[in-house]
Structure 1
Amino acid sequence: MNATDIANVLAKAAAFDQRTVGQADILAWHEALHDLEAVDALAAVTRHYASSEQRLMPVHVRRIALDLARERHRVAREQRERLELEATAADAVTVRDRSAEVADLLATLRDRLGPSDPSVLRRAEWVREERLRQRDAVPNPHYQGPPPPGGWPIPAADDRTA
C-alpha cells in the first residue's frame, strides 16, 4: 500500500471511532502496513468494527487482512483444483479403468519373486520380539501370589488381635 491507501484506511477508521488523522499517523501506519493489499486493509477495518469495540490499531488490520488474503488464496486454490478435476474427468484418455493392468502387474511380480520368507520381509526387531514371545514361559521367582486379605505386608501376630 502507498500513503494514499493508508490515508483511506485511517479515514475509514475515523468514520467509526472519530479519530483525528495527521501526516504522522499516515507515516507510522504506512511503516506497519505497507506490505498489505489496500482492499484487504479496508475490509479489515469494517470487519474489526463489526465485531469489536476496541480502537483499531495496525496489528488488528494486519491480522484481519492476512486472514482475508489467506481465505482468498484458499478459495482460488480450491476453485483451480475443482476445475482441474472437472477437466480430468472430462478427458476419457486420462480416466480409464486400469484394474486389469494392475492385476497383471501384480501377478507378474508375484511370479518373478516367488514365495517369500516373512522373516526377511519384516523388520528385524519385530522378528526378534516374535521369537521371544514364542519361548517357553518361565515363572516369575518373585511372584508371591495374590495379596492376603489384610494386604501387604502381612501384619504381625500382635497387630491382628487389635
Structure 2
Amino acid sequence: MISYEEVGALLGLAAARDQRIAGEADVLAWHADLNAASINYADADAALTRFYAVEMAGLEPDKRRRVTTPDVIAIARKIRAERLENFQYEPAEADETPRQYLARLRGQISDVASGRRDVPLQAAALEGGPHPEVLRALAAVGRGVPEQAAAEQHPEVKRPGPLGRECPRCKA
C-alpha cells in the first residue's frame, strides 16, 4: 500500500518533470488508484522514472504527454513481472506441508516481485558439469594443427587448402 504522503511525493516528482500543478484532488485520486492496484511507493517511483526516462525520452516534444495512474500501474506491473522472470522457489530445509509450501512460495514471490529480495539475473545452470566424454571432445575443439604435423600425418596433401590437391586443368 502507498500512503497519502508518498503519493504527494510521487506527484511532486511528476510535477518536476512535466510542469504540472498537483492539487489535493490529484493526490486523492492517485492514492485511490494506486492502492486499488496494490502498487507500493518503490514500484510507483520506478515506474515514474521509466515513463519519463525511457518511454517519453525518445519522442518528439509535441508527442510527449503527462503520466497518468494507468501508465504508472501498467509500468509497475511490468517491472514486477521482469523481477520474477528468473524466480526459483527456495524450499525449506525440513519437510513442508502443502499449506507451509504455499505460504512460503507466496512470500518469496511477493519479496522478489516487490524488489525486497534479489533474484538471480540468469537461470541456474545444470549442476555437476558436462559428461567426461563431452569434456574430452571439447578439449580438442579450437586447437590449431601445425602445417608440418599435418603434412606428416597426411603425406598425400601437397599444399594447404580445402582440397589439398592441384587442379590439373587450371593449376589452382
Q: Return the structure number with greater helix share.
A: 1
- TM-score normalised by the chain length of structure 1: 0.47
Who wins on radius of gyration, i.e. which is larger? 1
